[in-house]
Structure 1
Amino acid sequence: MWPKIHSNRDPRDTLLTELRKEFGAYYQLAGDWGIGLLRSHSKIAFYAMIALLLVSLVLSFTVFRHREKVALLTPVQVTTISDGFGQIMQTTGKIREIVVLKQQVDSLSAKKNLSAADSSRLIAALDRLQQLSKH
């Protein structure tokens, strides 16, 4: 078994407070330096911010625009669903036709004597069954 480790740390101490204790002086120096730079060159900083906003505006409406992809995604999904439903309906129709043809073949093959009309119906039904089984 692992022995219990007892810690005598203050429960109010968090990772952020410990990082602030360790590196707070460096962040304070960097903040003071940044504020001093902005105060001494305020017009340059202002014009740089305006330029960055304008560049961002131009890029967002030209380079980073993706309107074609959004327009193509929606119709593709709708046509796929409708094509799938159409295939299901076609398959259901073929199955119904196969059942009817098999009933016809069974009723004709149960007869002892076939007339010429019965023979031609039997041959046509068997041919159609063969065609449907290939697809």
Structure 2
Amino acid sequence: MFRKIHSNRDPRDTLYSELKKEFRVYANKGNQIGRYIAFKYHKLLFGAMITLMAVSALTAVLLHHAPAPQEKVKHRSETAVIRNGFDHILAANAALTLTIRLRNQVDSISAKKQLTKTDSLTLIRALDSLQHIQLTLPH
């Protein structure tokens, strides 16, 4: 099922270097045109830059909305705070217990030399469960 694939490509060739080789002609042409325009119309470009900065600043000032008034926070009783804290502790304990059980299962499956289809599915489910626990664990 899993077979090692051999490649004869040069390890120094990267995606960036191949793209650079392919599009170098167009990039150089665009660079030359850009330099020509910047040299010939430098005053126009400077004026456009200043105008765009002024429009941006004006837009930021005019469209800045006042912050919405915050609602008053209701005071919770101390027992609710304590109960909420215990709930967090119990949830963390349950998540930790499940994490330990899943880690043991993953370790025992990954120690095998060959995996069957059921082993692979069990391993995938266990890893997904571990990831879900990690995402939902209260911080």
The two structures have a TM-score, normalised by structure 1, of 0.51
The answer on 1:19 being equivalent to 2:19 is yes
- 2: distance between equivalents of 1:67 and 1:19? 47
The answer on 1:31 being equivalent to 2:31 is yes
Within a 5 Å distance, the mapping from 1:63-82 to structure 2 comes to 63=63, 65-69=64-68, 72=69, 75-76=70-71, 79-82=72-75
Q: What's 2:59 paired with?
A: 59
Residue 18 of structure 1, CA deviation: 1.0
Structure 1 unaligned blocks of 5 or more: 89-135
Letter in 2 for 1:66: H
Aligned residues: 79
Q: Deviations over 1:79-100 (max 9, x none)?
A: 2332x44xx7xxxxxxxxxxxx
- 2: distance between equivalents of 1:54 and 1:43? 17
Letter in 1 for 2:56: S
Within a 5 Å distance, the mapping from 1:107-118 to structure 2 comes to none
Query: More helix per residue: 1 or 2?
Result: 1
Structure 2 unaligned blocks of 5 or more: 81-139
- 2: distance between equivalents of 1:10 and 1:81? 65
* Root-mean-square deviation (Å): 2.1
- 2: distance between equivalents of 1:66 and 1:19? 45
Determine what percentage of the aligned residue pairs are the same residue: 37
Residue 48 of structure 1, CA deviation: 0.6
- 1: distance between equivalents of 2:3 and 2:67? 62
Q: Deviations over 1:49-86 (max 9, x none)?
A: 110111111011112x13323xx2xx32xx2332x44x
Larger radius of gyration: 1
- 1: distance between equivalents of 2:41 and 2:50? 15
